[in-house]
Amino acid sequence: MALPFIFTSCEKDKIEGPSLNNLYGELSILESLNVVGDGADFSVGENIYFTASFSKQVDWQIKIKGLNSGSVKIIYGKSDVINQSNSTWDGGSTQLPFFIAEDCEVELTFDMHDDTIYKQLNIKGEKEYNDESTVLIADFENGFNPNFTGFFQAGCTKALTIGGAGQGINFLQQFGTCDWDWLIGYIDYYSNFWYDQQELLNDPSQVYFNIMINGDSTISQVSNVPNSLFKLEFYEDENGDGYYDANTEDRYDYEFDVDWNGWRMVSVCYNDVEKLVLASSGGNAVRNPSKISNVRTLLLANPESGFAKADVDFLIWSIGKPLLN
């Protein structure tokens, strides 16, 4: 007796790996770039987002540039559609200075494709960075607080300046040459005189110090490294008596080269600040943000290296993440 043979075949429900169309297909713009909310007022929490669709998944980039401020925001993704979920913008900047109320140029480009789409949008009100998750130290918009004391070497400059700021209108210029000392100058920003007086969260892993610095990347003719060295010193008042005692209380320091041109935001988590100075006969060797009584900023340079520059603006603490995340 002959038994019938039954043949079966197996099919995969899904194709593994990228589609041939995504790899080799031509890019067609199915829906051109559209700006939804093209006149947003970011100061009251409004947003802008973009829409577009394409014939294939592609790496895309949206670049928004302020026509007056020069600020830049970059949004990027990989998809065949741009929508609210992957392109919402709250008015923040990728490159300083901050945006202001202004017209902006929008440019959509694609990786490995020559297509470029242009649009424009208008900012009715700029984003407010100082909110319930921040503690503002100084922004210089109301001048330089004389309670922030310090010292600058003879012939070196510390000057409140109008125009060209990283945020707002005013910023603090700091530059000079000192051929007998590493110090150009320093400023003490005492917590009693910070713009905001609420206490910092006492979790160093969640507290970030942010400062805008304007550099000129001058290279030393002696050492062939950037001239400008910037230092942050954080002083903790362990016993709460209103004073820092170098013999019994902790200080935490952080240094970096200013090796760039223009404004840049420097953000450092307080948990990552190197503990360079520990009181010899006291202090608890524990980072306590809520006990910080003073932030000192110092501009330094090798006395043999010549000119150094590091203007500052918008010193602010943020909670949970850097200010520009």
Q: Do 106 and 201 have their domain in common?
A: no
In this structure, which amino acid lies at residue 139? D
Q: What tens digit of pLDDT does each residue of 59-68 get?
A: 999 999 999 9
Q: Do 173 and 251 have their domain in common?
A: yes
Single out the residue of 236, 259, 248, 239 nearest to residue 308, CA to CA: 259
Q: Averaged over 243-271, what is the pLDDT?
A: 92
Q: Do 33 and 57 have their domain in common?
A: yes
Backbone angles phi and psi of 20, in degrees to 5: -65, -30
User: 197 pLDDT exceeds 50?
Assistant: yes
Cis peptide before 4 (omega within 30 of 0): no
Q: Do 43 and 180 have their domain in common?
A: no
User: Band of the pLDDT at 207, cuts 50, 70, 90?
Assistant: very high
In contact, 97 and 115? CB cutoff 8 Å = no
How do 308-309 and 170-176 pair as beta strands?
antiparallel
In contact, 227 and 305? CB cutoff 8 Å = yes
Between 307 and 317, where is the model more confident? Answer: 317
The range of the structural domain enclosing residue 116 comes to 27-122
Q: Cite the beta strand spans of 146-206 per DSSP E.
A: 150-152, 157-162, 170-176, 183-190
- Worst-scoring range by mean pLDDT, 2-6, 133-137, 278-282, 299-303? 2-6
In this structure, which amino acid lies at residue 6? I
CB atoms within 10 A of CB 87: 23
CA-based angle 95:257:319, to the nearest 5? 55
User: 17 pLDDT exceeds 80?
Assistant: no
Q: Do 248 and 297 have their domain in common?
A: yes
Evaluate whether residue 253 is within a structural domain.
yes
Q: Do 110 and 183 have their domain in common?
A: no
CB atoms within 10 A of CB 322: 14
End of a domain among 85, 100, 122?
122
Sign (positive or negative) of CA dihedral 277, 283, 284, 288: negative
Q: Do 248 and 114 have their domain in common?
A: no
Evaluate whether residue 205 is within a structural domain.
yes
Evaluate whether residue 21 is within a structural domain.
no
User: Band of the pLDDT at 16, cuts 50, 70, 90?
Assistant: low
Predicted pLDDT at 42: 97
Predicted pLDDT at 123: 97
Helix then strand then coil, % of the chain, to nearest 5? 5, 45, 50
Predicted pLDDT at 14: 53
Evaluate whether residue 5 is within a structural domain.
no
What are the C-alpha distances in Å from 322 to residues 202, 261, 273? 16, 21, 14
Could you give the CA distance from residue 102 to residue 67 in angstroms, rounded to a whole number?
Answer: 7
Q: Do 157 and 238 have their domain in common?
A: yes
Q: What tens digit of pLDDT does each residue of 284-298 get?
A: 888 999 999 999 999
Render 274-311 in DSSP notation, one character per residue.
---B--TT---SS--GGGEEEEEEEEE--TTT--EE-E
Q: Do 248 and 305 have their domain in common?
A: yes
Q: Do 153 and 268 have their domain in common?
A: yes
End of a domain among 70, 94, 122?
122
List the CATH number of the domain containing 249.
2.60.120.430
Give, for 16, the enclosing helix (H) or strand (E). none
Overall number of domains in the chain: 2
% of the chain surpassing 70 pLDDT: 89
Between 221 and 259, where is the model more confident? Answer: 259
List alpha helices for the chain, DSSP H.
20-24, 84-87
How many residues are given for the chain? 325
Evaluate whether residue 14 is within a structural domain.
no
List the CATH number of the domain containing 39.
2.60.40
Predicted pLDDT at 8: 47
Q: What tens digit of pLDDT does each residue of 72-124 get?
A: 999 999 999 999 999 999 999 999 999 999 999 999 999 988 889 999 999 99
Return the residue matching tokens 């009715």.
Answer: 124
User: 225 pLDDT exceeds 80?
Assistant: no
Q: Do 179 and 93 have their domain in common?
A: no
User: 6 pLDDT exceeds 50?
Assistant: no
Evaluate whether residue 269 is within a structural domain.
yes
Mean pLDDT of the chain: 90
How many H helices and E strands in the chain?
2, 17
End of a domain among 83, 101, 122?
122
Evaluate whether residue 19 is within a structural domain.
no
Evaluate whether residue 162 is within a structural domain.
yes
Between 311 and 250, where is the model more confident? Answer: 311
Return the residue matching tokens 């007086």.
Answer: 197
Q: Do 53 and 162 have their domain in common?
A: no
